[in-house]
Amino acid sequence: MKELRGRVALVTGASRGIGAAIATALAGEGCHVALAARSEDALEKLAAELRQKFGVQTLVLPIDLSDEAQAEAMVAATVAALGRIDILVNNAGAGIYGDITALRSADLRATFDLNFFAPVAAMAAAVPHMRAQGDGVIVNIGSLVGKFPQPLGGGYSASKFALHAASGAARAELKDDNIAVVLVCPGLTDTEFAAHSRISVPGLEDMQGERHAPLRGVAPARVARRVVKAIRRREREVYITLFDRLVVLGAQLLPGLFEWGLLWATKIRRRRFAQAQDKR
């Protein structure tokens, strides 16, 4: 899919962060974009900006993808309004923090609803349209921690592990239909993701993530540029930085040393949770 001008892209989680950046980058390439997220005001603002700056068609879809039943309606609305769907970007997602053996089952299920079941449902809804068109690209935004476990973030890691597996299976299943499945594995990114993550730690349920992480991560625009390149090339898996690639390689080749690093990271994160509890 080298020529993107005139194509129709549906981006979930498009109200901010990586999703907004990807929608902007695709519009900059001449794609008409459907923007899906819960925040209608933010979507309307972005849609107006994209129409004015790039002269593309936009569609605002205020939707809560934690209800997977809404995925089919989202895809149908895109096709009805914009005529087709060439690119599906499953970006909507949320984090969860807490010991894996102590996570509330309702919190963990909510994480899987948004991070795994919603993308799978969106793929199922989009594939018949792409198959009829004879072409399409599905982009699933995974995570670096879908390649190795995240201390005190095992619920989030598990949901991304599941999405990675589903992406690989779909890639093989859809190859003969000329539908590419691109898995993107961002590392630390400078967004509000942590601030909106679910905290499944007794006494800290209202704590809004680790908003003051020691590193800010890469800019969402950098992730978006890499995603556009991956769509053009129909790549299999994408890492944003060389450091991200090296981290995954280290986890595979030096599991003992990597596990030591995970234990160290666990102690740091436990200390932060303890400090937060002490302030209460």
Kindly state whether residue 186 falls inside one of the protein's structural domains: yes
* 34-45 average pLDDT score: 96
Q: What is the pLDDT of residue 151?
A: 84
Chain centroid to CA 252: how far?
23
pLDDT per position as a tens digit, 239-266: 999 999 999 999 999 988 888 888 887 8
Instruction: With cut-offs at 50, 70 and 90, classify the pLDDT of residue 83.
Output: very high
Q: What is the pLDDT of residue 190?
A: 73
Kindly state whether residue 279 falls inside one of the protein's structural domains: no
Asked whether the beta carbons of 110 and 159 are under 8 A apart, the reply is no
Q: Give the CATH number of the domain where residue 79 resides.
A: 3.40.50.720
Instruction: With cut-offs at 50, 70 and 90, classify the pLDDT of residue 34.
Output: very high
Number of domains in the chain: 1
Kindly state whether residue 259 falls inside one of the protein's structural domains: no
Q: What is the pLDDT of residue 279?
A: 63
Domain that holds residue 16: 8-248
Instruction: With cut-offs at 50, 70 and 90, classify the pLDDT of residue 211.
Output: very low
**Average model confidence (pLDDT) across the chain:** 89
Helix (H), strand (E), coil (C) string for 64-111? CCCCCCHHHHHHHHHHHHHCCCCEEEECCCCCEECCCCCCCHHHHHHH
Instruction: With cut-offs at 50, 70 and 90, classify the pLDDT of residue 97.
Output: confident
* 92-105 average pLDDT score: 89
Kindly state whether residue 1 falls inside one of the protein's structural domains: no
Q: What is the pLDDT of residue 196?
A: 58
Q: What is the pLDDT of residue 214?
A: 52
Kindly state whether residue 265 falls inside one of the protein's structural domains: no
Catalogue the active-site residues: 156
Give the span between the Cα atoms of 272 and 115, in whole angstroms. Answer: 25
Kindly state whether residue 274 falls inside one of the protein's structural domains: no
Q: What is the pLDDT of residue 217?
A: 78
Q: What is the pLDDT of residue 208?
A: 46
Helix axis angle, 40-54 to 17-28, nearest 10°: 20
Kindly state whether residue 97 falls inside one of the protein's structural domains: yes
Kindly state whether residue 258 falls inside one of the protein's structural domains: no
Give the span between the Cα atoms of 170 and 173, in whole angstroms. Answer: 5
